Chains A and B, each alone.
Chain A
Amino acid sequence: MDNQFFTRSQKVQNIIKGFNLTRSLFVSSILTGNAYTGKKSLIRYLFPTITFADGRDQKNIEQLLENQNELVIFNFEKLSNVENLDFSNKRIIAISNYISNERTIDSLFAFIYHMPSLRERPEDVVALTEHFNREIKSKLMIEGDFTIDLEALDISAETHSLRRSLYREAFIYSCSDQDIKSILHRYLYEHMEGDSDYKTYLPLYEKPLIEAGLEKFGSQLKLSEMLGINRNTLRKKIHELGIN
């Protein structure tokens, strides 16, 4: 199991400090926050030897609470009748994507921590991007460094979307002519239905061609020269393709 955790955020460092201070105590703590903010990774990193149990398995949790004095419960929000659980003199760490009943959580847990989202810790986006890049380069066997379009990074679903957007960037970077042809081949094969398909699918090549050209050469005049087409034809294409 990979017990690494990456953070440069002071807010997360403070949470780590809190957990480290109470690691020898028999207290109940809960770490809440959006899905994919690294809650489970953090707890696994801090408490590698404690049993982890899924809150979706109510019976298992109840059984473990009877027999063990320390337990990590993830998907805590999925548990029902939590007010009846006995956490006294036990080391309980709950991980929850949201708080369904604030009063119950408040009475069950001595320590309530909130994991900030990636939007609230941009320094971690940088750290995680570096980490994921190393992972991606190794998995996709990419040699050398590749440039990342920071605007293409997606943190709307926290680390989940960040990782996905980085994989996509890495794939785009590493694509060969043959890969692009293969992708188009597959896509067209699956989508062509025989109704003006030439007109329908031509923008697949034309739009990126003109957009990239405009970005690279800066003006329609220069681009028309580079593409070897008439300036009016280019202007008409830009209009048809809805390029801004």
Chain B
Amino acid sequence: MNSVSTDFQFFVECDSSPFILFRNTGKILYLNSVAEILLGYVNQQELYDIAISYAPKDFGYKTTRLELQYDTFSFYAITVAYENEEQIGLKLYHRPRLDLENYQEMDKLPLTDINILLEANIALFKLHNGNNMELLADQDLPPCRIDQNQFSKLMRKTLHSFRASDSIRISLTLMVGEYVLIRNKPERIIQFMITANGRYTDNDKEIKSIAEHTNTTCLLKEHTVRLQVPFVQ
């Protein structure tokens, strides 16, 4: 076999699994784009410590099943590899985000302008509440397949949990570098996020239940709710 010089960095860059290459001091030499996002939620030292703790005893690589949760990132395994004393690489494997069984029906769902759903829900919320609102939405989002009724309910319930908040920030964006595998096809993810100075949690159980039935990942925090939906076209 002829040896061919190839730059693999591009392929690592496209990978939806975070990859970080550390120097032996803990300093980062390289990280792909999804790892860059991950570092918004976890300290790099913590990841370096994990790499050291789960490194193979000798040069080479070792994959370990390990449950890790950072904000909405949920990993089920890591691979740590090194071939010299200077550098050590860590790759984290996403937990399958959703139950694939649920996707069977997605093709039957109507193509939806999710911005319209959001706008209608904001209009409904404003009928009863006078809270200040700031909206950041990507108006160019193309239509996607979504259960309009259930997702509207989910938005209504979520917004309702912020009914007493002074100032509400809402964003609707296509996530960068994050994918979900649906029938072996990576699909992008839309994130609907609401942040305020506080919120009621009385509807959380119901929000989680509706989210489960709409292929939506939800993250409920004290000041923030994130709903992440597969962007299936």
- Point out residues on A near B: beta carbons under 8 Å: 11, 14-15, 17-18, 21-22, 24-28, 87-89, 107, 109-114
Min distance, Cβ B156 to any Cβ of chain A, angstroms: 7
Q: Which 9 residue pairs spanning A and B have beta carbons closest together?
A: A110-B152, A21-B120, A18-B123, A22-B120, A110-B153, A110-B149, A27-B149, A25-B148, A27-B148
**Chain B residues engaging chain A, CB cutoff 8 angstroms:** 108-110, 112-113, 116-117, 119-121, 123-124, 126-127, 147-150, 152-153, 156
Pair A26/B148 contact, Cβ less than 8 Å = yes
Q: B128's closest neighbor in chain A, by CB?
A: A114
Is A25 a contact partner of B127 (Cβ separation < 8 A)?
Answer: no
Other-chain residue from B120, B123, B150, B156 in contact with A25 (beta carbon distance below 8 A): B120
Looking at the assembled complex, report how far the CB atom of B151 sits from the nearest CB atom of chain A, in whole angstroms. Answer: 8
Chain B min CB distance to A221 (Å): 57
Binding site secondary structure of chain B: helix
Residue of B nearest to A92 (CB): B149
- The closest CB in chain A to the CB of B123 belongs to A18
| Pairwise interchain contact B110-A18, C-beta atoms closer than 8 A | no
For the complex formed, measure the closest distance between the CB of B123 and the CB atoms of chain A, giving whole angstroms.
5
Contacts of A21 in B (CB 8 A): 116, 119-120, 123
Contact A26 B124 (CB under 8 A): no
In the assembled complex, the Cα of A22 lies from the Cα of B119 at a distance in Å of 9
Q: Find chain B residues with CB under 8 A from A14 CB.
A: 123, 126-127
Task: Say how far A85's CB is from chain B's closest CB, in angstroms.
Answer: 12
Q: Which residue of B lies closest to A90 (CB)?
A: B149
User: Which residues in A have their C-beta under 8 angstroms from that of B153?
Assistant: 107, 109-110
**Which listed residue, B108, B110, B127, B150, touches A113 by the CB 8 Å rule?**
B127
Complex CA–CA separation, A17 to B126 (angstroms)? 11
Beyond the given pairs A14-B126, A89-B109, A111-B120, 14 more chain A to chain B contacts, judged by CB atoms under 8 angstroms and listed by A's residue number, are A11-B127, A18-B120, A18-B123, A21-B123, A22-B152, A25-B112, A25-B120, A27-B148, A88-B149, A107-B153, A111-B152, A112-B124, A113-B124, A114-B127
Chain A residue contacts of B152, Cβ below 8 A? 22, 25, 27, 110-111
Is A17 a contact partner of B148 (Cβ separation < 8 A)? no
Q: List 30 A-B contacts (CB under 8 A).
A: A14-B123, A14-B127, A15-B127, A18-B123, A18-B127, A21-B116, A21-B120, A24-B113, A25-B112, A25-B116, A25-B117, A25-B148, A27-B149, A87-B149, A88-B147, A88-B149, A88-B150, A89-B108, A89-B110, A89-B147, A107-B153, A109-B153, A110-B150, A110-B152, A110-B153, A110-B156, A111-B121, A111-B124, A111-B152, A113-B127
Query: Quick check: A111 and B117 within 8 Å, CB to CB?
Result: no
Q: Which residues of A contact B127 (CB under 8 A)?
A: 11, 14-15, 18, 113-114
Least distance between B199 CB and chain A CB atoms (Å): 18
Per the bound structure, the CA–CA distance linking A111 and B149 in Å amounts to: 9
Q: A89: nearest residue on chain B (CB-CB)? A: B110
What is the CA–CA distance of A89 and B109 in the complex, to the nearest angstrom?
7
Nearest-neighbor residue (CB-CB) of B209 within chain A: A107
Within the complex, what minimum Cβ distance (angstroms) separates A163 from chain B? 27
- Bound CA–CA A88/B113 (angstroms): 17
Taking a contact as CB atoms closer than 8 A, the residue among B108, B116, B119, B156 that contacts A111 in the complex is B156
**A26-B116 in contact given A18-B127, A111-B124 (Cβ < 8 Å):** no
Q: Enumerate chain B residues within 8 angstroms of A113, measured Cβ to Cβ.
A: 124, 127
Closest to B157 in A: A106
Contacts of A28 in B (CB 8 A): 149
Q: For residue A110, which residue of chain B has the nearest CB? A: B152
Inter-chain contacts of B147 with A (CB < 8 A): 88-89
Chain B residues in 8 Å Cβ range of A110: 148-150, 152-153, 156
Residues of A within 8 A of B116 (CB): 21-22, 24-25
B210's closest neighbor in chain A, by CB? A107
Within the complex, the shortest CB–CB distance from A39 to chain B, in Å, comes to 15
Residue ID in chain B nearest A17 by CB atoms: B123
Q: How far is A45 from B20 in the complex, measured between Cα atoms in Å?
A: 60
CA distance in complex: A72, B127 (Å): 22
For B150, the chain A residues whose CB sits under 8 A away are 88, 110
List residues of chain B with CB within 8 A of the CB of A111.
120-121, 124, 152, 156
